[in-house]
Each structure stands twice: as C-alpha cells, then as structure tokens.
Copies of this chain bind each other. A is one copy, B any other.
Amino acid sequence: MVNVRIALAQVDTCVGDLAGNTRTVLEWTRRAAQAGADVVAFPEMTVTGYPIEDLALRASFRRGAEAALQSIATGLAQEGLGELVVVVGSVGERTTREHDAAPARPTNQAVVIQHGRVQARYDKHHLPNYGVFDEFRIFASGTEPCVLDVHGRRIGLVICEDIWQDGGPVAAMADADLDLLLVINGSPFEDGKVHLRTELAARRAREVRAPVAYVNMVGGQDDLVFDGGSFVVDADGDLLARAPQLVEHLLLWDLPDATLEGATGDASAPAAAIPRTGPEIAPDLDPDEAIYKAVVAGLSGYLRKNGFGSVALGLSGGIDSALVAVIAADAIGGEHVVGVSMPSRYSSEHSKDDAADLAKRIGADYRIQPIKPMVDVFEAELGLEGVAAENLQARMRGVILMGLANAEGHLVLATGNKSELAVGYSTVYGDAVGGYAPLKDVDKSRVWALARWRNNAALDVGKLPPIPESSITKPPSAELRPGQVDQDSLPPYELLDRVLDAYVEHAEGRVELLARGFDPEIVDKVLTLVDRAEWKRRQYPLGPKVTGLAFGRDRRLPITTLWREP
C-alpha cells in the first residue's frame, strides 16, 4: 500500500450559484490534482451553497443542483481528472415512506464522484435544528453509513452535525476498521468555536480509532460567516494539520501507509511527500483578530455576492461608525466607502473633526450634509419635542443616506452595536437604516477592543492607525440633545455588557443574575429594555453572527409577550 494524499478544499461558495460553484469545484480539483492528491473533499453543500433554507423545498432548485453535479462529473472526466475521488456536498432527495406515494424529501448530501460519474451518496443523519439551523424543517435524515474504498483504504464519510451528536453514523462505524473519517462541514464562525471543533473531532477520532479530516467552508452568507480552519487530527486526537481561518485554502495531508507500524499519528514521516512545506498547522488567531476578520469576511461576502461595489454610512466621529468604516475599507477598499458627516446643532466640533480625520485616514469619499435645514422644516411643521424630536434627527440622517444610496447604488451600513440593539438604544428608520449591520453581534466592550486591535495591527506593520484615538477614548454620545452621553440613560457599557451576556447569551433568569451579584435595579432596568426592544430588532438589518448567540434567527422570541422575569 501507499500513502493516500487528501486535499481539503476550503472554498467560498455562494448560495444558489450553481454555475459558479461548479466552476469552483472544477478549479480547486485541478489544483488538488496538481498537488498530487488522491482525494479532494469540498465543504458541506458545495454545489448549492449553504445554508439554502427553503430553496431546498423547490423541486426546480433540486433539479438544477442534480444537473450541476452531473456536469461536475462529466467535466472532471473530460479534463482527465476522472481518477481523483472528489467529495462534494449538494441537495439530494429521498423517499421517506417506502411503500407510499409520498413525495421525495430533500436531503443534505455528500456525493462521491469518480470516473465521470456519481459513485456514492451519503445523506446527513443528524440534522441541526437549534440556534441558526433549521435543517429538520427542510431535510429528511439519512439512515445508512457510507464507507469509501480508496486504494484499499477505508474512508468513512459524514457531514458536520453527524459528529456533534452521539450515536448515528459515527457510532455505527466504530468497529468498521476505518483508516480515516472524513467530515465535510458548513460550520459558522463564533468566538471560541475553533477549539470546540478540534476537541470534538479528537473525540470522534478515538471513537473510530482513525484520523479525522475536517473540511469547512469559508465566506459570508447573510448573517453567517464560515471561517474555514479545516484540519486533521490523528487517531489519538492530536492535531496534524490545520488551514488558516477566513481565507480560501487547499490543505494537503497524507494518510499514512497503515503497514508502517506506528505511522498513524506521526506527522513527520509520511507527510514528507507533500511538496515543499510539509503539513502545515496555521496559528491560532487571537479572539479580537478572529472576530474582526470574521466581520470583514461577512461584509465583503455580502457585498460581492449581492453585487454591491460601494457602501455608504454616517460618520458621527464616534467609535461605532469609525469601526464600521474601517471594516468596510478593509472589505472593499476605502475609496469605495462613502462616509457622510451629518451634523446637527448638537454635534460637537471634536465629533466633526474626528469624522473627517477618520475618513482621511482610510481614504473614504467624505461628504458633509448638515441636517439643520431638514430638521427645521419638520419641527416647524410637526412641532415635535423630547424623544420624538431626537428620533427626528436620526431619521433625517436615515433619509439622507437612503437617498444617496438610491441615487448612487451604495449599500447602506447601519453602525449600531449589539449592546444598543439589545436595549433598543437606536432609532428605527433612523440610525437603524441599512442593508447590513457589521456590528450587530459585537457588543460595545468588544467594539473598543476591536478598534484597539485594528489600530495596533496597523502599528505592527508601520502604518497609521486608522481610527482616531479620541474616537476610542471619548465618552459615547448619541449627540441628539445638548451634552447628552449614553451613560445618562444606560449603565456603564462594561457593566451592561456583562448583564446582557448573562441574560441574552446564557438565558439566565433574574434569580441567577442577582446571585451573580448584579444590582437588582440595574438588572430590572436592563431586562425591561431588552424585552421591549424586540420589535425594533425584527426590523433591523442583517449582520454577521460572531458570538454564541446573536440576535435574529439565533434567538427567536415573540414580540407580543407579557413574560417578565420574576
């Protein structure tokens, strides 16, 4: 026997782009062939993109995906790549009631292609239906395991959630004498998840007594960011190879010849055959770096896949809009960022200066549009006061940004952060307008941390930090009335964020929050604000999930509820 070279193709697909995803599979299979691979594995639902949501329920979509699969098989054979074992994900079909006229139901499928045709199909067994996942809604479960024979080596094939749950196909293969367990994944980024994945794969490796190769997709898809980080662990669970996060990558690894005693788990011996570099282990990212890059990837994916070439946002001089502008500049280039300063009578000089300074540092298209003339005419006509008048100012800015976007074709970015979204500290149809909200799942404490990380990253390479220091250090203010600061109406953000983390992300009750030592008055205030802001959150734009629990489909609560924590 010989080594079997495995290529994990960590690619960025697009939902619904059957033709583009087909080209991606062909292109990366060519690269894998050039690197001498015997097997190339692509992520979950490669052909269709992931997650496809209710597109799975359209028969026309499933027919299209099947045709794309066939064209991949044919295309590979025509290019002389028929010898390669190519594993891709797609949507399949399965009749759930064998003796019945029940229509076929979609499945989440891994498809094995070789010699110009489909050689095997595996239907995902465990369907995640929690958090952001709705797979029980759209897919039928598979029932059979799948073991491939590649040059005499036995490769078990499963999909993502199959390794997150006990039982099922992995357990069924415990005594199947596997040489490798191959897992294809569409596992979205969240803070700290890299380690969970590795530990889990290690556990399954010990369960099947074989190495586990894990390939994950990369790129932004609506409110999800897939971070790649594909890897291989040996039968003892030790890390043998790892791809970098948040970029496309081809990770090569040689499944060692099992006849060499002790070769399994020894990375250096068999992998010597990989050209030049040997099996790589990409370094761990610092949490702030990972989150920052995930947000950039989420935004750049949204822009590219939806055909936007530029963004527009309001620049207030504050930290949120500054960070969003820098993220946008990193995603699409500062010259494609339109930053609009929209000062009111309450805007301070330092705010206007900071906005201009930021725009200059990132090379944005900077514009100034005072809102006074609009506010004046609305106030004269409507005579609004108090919060209504504050909201009016924010809505003038929303109208300006949307007008600009409609006229010039930009995507408008909402600059609110997760803390504000949690407590409803924003104006619906005002600062909440936009098609994408990069900081939707980034709380205020993390906003400051990301700003500092980004500035330091610039300093590390000898560049000018993009965010003016005063935007980071000054007290946050909405500047909607004279001398206003956020802390007039909210607890200090550091405290607020800890209460929110316990209440929102960990679903703790009031009793548990008080047991943590939080002040009851603050707890009651925060919980009431969070509960009452649900209707605003529903109309808020999409933004990338980067924590264990994001607002949106990850946390589904009724607007109409009288439940208040006792």
Contacts and interface: CB of A to CB of B under 8 A. Distances in A.
A391 interface: yes
Interface in A515-566: 535, 538-542, 555-566
Contact of A377 (B301, B305, B374, B384): B374
Contact of A395 (B61, B382, B402): B402
A186 interface: no
Contact of A54 (B306, B377, B435, B557): B557
A14 interface: yes
Interface in A309-332: none
Nearest to A386: B407
B382 A406 contact: no
Given A59-B509, A374-B377, A406-B384, A14 B562 contact: yes
B560 A222 contact: yes
A60 B566 contact: yes
B403 A559 contact: no
Contacts of A52: 558, 561
B130 A558 contact: no
B129 A398 contact: no
A20 interface: yes
Contacts of A49: 561
8 contacts: A16-B564, A60-B566, A129-B129, A134-B134, A369-B382, A385-B407, A396-B399, A539-B540
A346 interface: no
A422 B6 CA distance: 46
Contacts of A137: 129-130, 134, 136, 556
How many copies of the chain does the oligomer comprise?
2
Contact of A381 (B306, B374, B428): B374
B406 A399 contact: no
Contacts of A561: 14-17, 49, 52, 55
A510 interface: yes
A159 B407 CA distance: 54
A560 B61 contact: no
A136 B133 CA distance: 11
B60 A511 contact: yes
A18 interface: yes
Given A220-B560, A396-B399, 9 more contacts: A52-B558, A52-B561, A55-B561, A134-B134, A134-B556, A305-B560, A382-B400, A387-B406, A399-B399
A557 B57 CA distance: 10
A230 interface: no
A20 B558 contact: no
A58 B557 CA distance: 11
Given A391-B406, A542-B538, A558 B55 contact: yes
A69 B433 CA distance: 44
Interface string A53-90: 11101111101100000000000000000000000000
A555 B559 CA distance: 19
A554 to B, nearest CB: 9
Interface string A366-387: 0001000110111011101111
Contacts of A301: 560
A562 B402 contact: no
A272 interface: no
A510 B64 CA distance: 12
A292 interface: no
A392 interface: yes
B388 A403 contact: yes
A96 to B, nearest CB: 12
Interface in A13-65: 14-18, 20, 49, 51-55, 57-61, 63-64
A164 interface: no
Contact of A435 (B16, B400, B508, B535): B535
B384 A374 contact: no
Contacts of A226: none
A557 B406 CA distance: 24
A388 B406 contact: yes
A373 B381 contact: yes
A412 B15 CA distance: 35
Given A558-B221, A560-B15, A563-B16, A60 B509 contact: yes
A61 B563 contact: yes
A189 interface: no
Interface in A424-446: 428-429, 433, 435
Contacts of A564: 16
A171 interface: no
Contacts of A540: 539
A53 B400 CA distance: 37
A72 to B, nearest CB: 17
A49 B398 CA distance: 37
Contact of A429 (B20, B378, B433): B433
Contacts of A512: 60
A214 interface: no
A428 B16 CA distance: 25
Shortest beta-carbon contacts, A-B, top 7: A60-B509, A16-B563, A16-B561, A388-B406, A17-B562, A388-B407, A16-B562
